[in-house]
Homo-oligomer: A and B are copies of this chain.
Amino acid sequence: MIENARVAVVGVGNNTSALVQGIAFYRQTGSLVGIRRPEIAGLGVGDIDVVAAFALSPGKVGKPLHEAIFAPPNNFPHLGAELPPAGIEVRRGLLDGTEIERVARSLNGAEVVLYSAPSGRPEVARAYAEAALTAKAAFINTTADPVAREPSILDRFQAAGLPLIGDDLASQFGVSVLHRTLLRLLEERGLTLVSSYQVNLGGTEDFRNLVENPGTKHRSKLNAIGSDKVQIAPLGYLPHLGSQKVAHLNVEAQGWGGTEVSLDVRLKVHDPSGAAGVNIDLIRLAAGALRAGRGGYVAEAAPLLKSPPGTAV
């Protein structure tokens, strides 16, 4: 029987909560609900052991991982799975490029380092990549910060025979892919787009940050949709939504003879679930490549990423 994949997680936010709880849920229930690929490299969705975790928040560092994932501002719901009582302890993470050695020594035999911290600190992301190189682990960058897109870093993972996956996780199912799919369907059918809007509402800390500093994300959303007739309205932070996101989409188009076609959509989805549902695949792809001795770029991961190597930094 194949051994479980050993993973170190960096960042103990909602996405990590969804990942850790989900793994326990699937182990206990044997269910395959919501799973895209039951097995990758011989590993099922429950065949993952989280062996180390790093965070910065004083409310999380020093706590057992299974408590820390419920510490505020985390608000992903309890999935109801029983979590192993004697879990691992969350360690103090990196603030910059110092202490890489300390982290490398604390990875506890991890085969894969999953970097799942907030975007916006590329030097920290690279520091963890260094730690992975040092400890001979694969590295996954789920943030928008450029790591796998940096040829110099990719080369070093390649040379070391270590897989590198990134950058920027594409959610398993979210408003961008839904919006794109609808617009593509209209186009395939020959309808003419008149206007479209997308309003996103959410209640996580990430959402609060986006609302306070909307610039980058807004632009990246527009790029993701790829039409100047599509307007992304300001994001709304609604704390009571918790980790649930609500999106309102509208599409106005014209069909034969200029007649109106009108489409209104409301989507409700848990963003952290969308991240965990992809992370579970990235982890298994990384572990599989590592075990097979394949270093560098993991091509199969490209469809699960927004900015794989080769895309603009």
A interface vs B, CB < 8 Å?
18, 21-22, 25-26, 31-37, 77, 79, 81, 172-173, 177-178, 181-182, 185-186, 189-192, 194-195, 197, 199, 201, 211, 229, 231, 233-240, 246, 248, 250, 253-270, 273-274, 276-277, 280
CB pair A173 B34 closer than 8 Å: no
Most B CB contacts (10 A, CB to CB) among A79, A186, A194, A248 go to: A248
Q: A186-B173, A191-B172 are in contact. Are A268 and B262 (CB under 8 A)?
A: yes
For A229, the chain B residues whose CB sits under 8 A away are 240
CB pair A269 B261 closer than 8 Å: yes
CB pair B234 A25 closer than 8 Å: no
For A201, the chain B residues whose CB sits under 8 A away are 197, 199, 233
Q: A34-B255, A259-B273 are in contact. Are A190 and B177 (CB under 8 A)?
A: no
Interchain Cβ contacts under 8 Å between A and B, 29 examples: A18-B256, A18-B259, A25-B257, A32-B192, A33-B258, A34-B192, A34-B253, A36-B189, A77-B259, A79-B259, A81-B257, A172-B256, A173-B185, A173-B255, A173-B261, A178-B185, A178-B263, A181-B181, A181-B185, A194-B240, A197-B201, A233-B236, A256-B277, A257-B276, A259-B273, A262-B267, A262-B269, A263-B265, A263-B268
Give me the 8 closest cross-chain CB pairs, A-B, nearest first.
A36-B190, A233-B236, A256-B277, A22-B257, A256-B273, A195-B240, A262-B268, A259-B273
